[in-house]
Amino acid sequence: MDNIKFCVKIEENDLYRFNLHHIYTSSQGIISVVLFVLLIAVWILRFAALSPIYRIFYPLVAIIFLFYIPMSLKLRVKAQMNQEVFKHPLTYELKEDGIEISSPSSEEPAELPWEYIYKVSIWKEYLLIYSNRVNAYIIPVEAIKDEYDSIVTYIKDKVEDYKLQIK
* pLDDT tens, residue order, the chain (167 aa): 789 999 999 999 999 999 999 998 889 889 989 999 999 999 999 999 999 999 999 999 999 988 999 999 999 999 999 998 899 999 999 999 999 999 988 889 999 999 999 999 999 899 999 999 989 999 999 999 999 999 999 999 999 999 999 87
Quote the pLDDT of residue 2. 87
User: What CA–CA distance (Å, rounded) separates 141 from 127?
Assistant: 6
Measured CA angle at 64 (ends 60, 68), to 5 deg: 165
Quote the pLDDT of residue 72. 94
Is residue 130 located within the same domain as residue 58?
Answer: no
User: What CA–CA distance (Å, rounded) separates 135 from 157?
Assistant: 22
User: What CA–CA distance (Å, rounded) separates 26 from 73?
Assistant: 14
- Domain with residue 127: its CATH number is 2.30.29
The total of structural domains in the chain comes to 2
Which of the listed residues 24, 47, 80 is the one where a domain comes to its end?
Answer: 80
DSSP 8-state symbol, 26: S
Q: Which residue range forms the structural domain that includes residue 37?
A: 15-80
Quote the pLDDT of residue 106. 84
What pTM was estimated for this model as a whole? 0.83
Is residue 94 located within the same domain as residue 66?
Answer: no
User: What CA–CA distance (Å, rounded) separates 36 from 60?
Assistant: 10
DSSP 8-state symbol, 131: S
DSSP lists the bridge partners of residue 119 as 130
Quote the pLDDT of residue 167. 75
User: What CA–CA distance (Å, rounded) separates 57 from 54?
Assistant: 5
Quote the pLDDT of residue 1. 72
The dihedrals phi and psi of 106, each to the nearest 5 degrees, come to -130, 145
